Amino acid sequence: MSIFESYEKKISELKQFNELLDSINFMHPEKKYLEMIINTELLEYQRRLESLSLGKLSYRCSFCNGFIKEIGIPIIVGDLTLCNFCKISISQVMTTNKAEEEWGLFKGAIKQDCRPGGALQIYKDAGLVFKSGKFWQIHRKVMLQHYGEPKDIIKSYDLLKG
């Protein structure tokens, strides 16, 4: 069932329930409360369906499973749909070799900190440093927080040269 069909079905069910409540003749405080809740939910589903129909939220990200709110066509490769947030998040993860090169650290420095009980243990526990196969992966935010700003090797070379 598509998202459109599920919203249309929910709208239909809410309308039927609303009609059922209208057919009840006696007044009860709970009845007014239920009518208010149903009408609010009905309006929300109608608003969502209208947004989908206008093409504003017609895609869902394969990673975060959220609706893509950006206007235009998102990144689509085969069955994979990617929102901008997930695209940016993925690009923030790098191998320790790349991070060591970018930060000007000696080879193996980050791997050393990845050992059990090492300096990066809290980040490992949070899933910001992890092993994928035989390679350690590290998030850019961890590098910035733990090691500071990356070293601009080219700028350093230019200063020494000139």
Beta bridge partners of 77: 80
- Beta-carbon contacts of 141 under 8 Å, excluding residues fewer than 6 positions away, are 92, 128
Q: Could you read off the pLDDT of 87-142 as tens digits, one per residue?
A: 888 788 999 999 999 999 999 999 999 999 999 999 898 888 999 999 999 998 89
Q: Is 28 helix (H, G, I), strand (E, B) or coil?
A: coil
Tell me the residue length of the chain: 162
pTM of the model: 0.51
Residue 35 buriedness (CB in 10 A; 0-12 / 13-18 / 19+):
middle
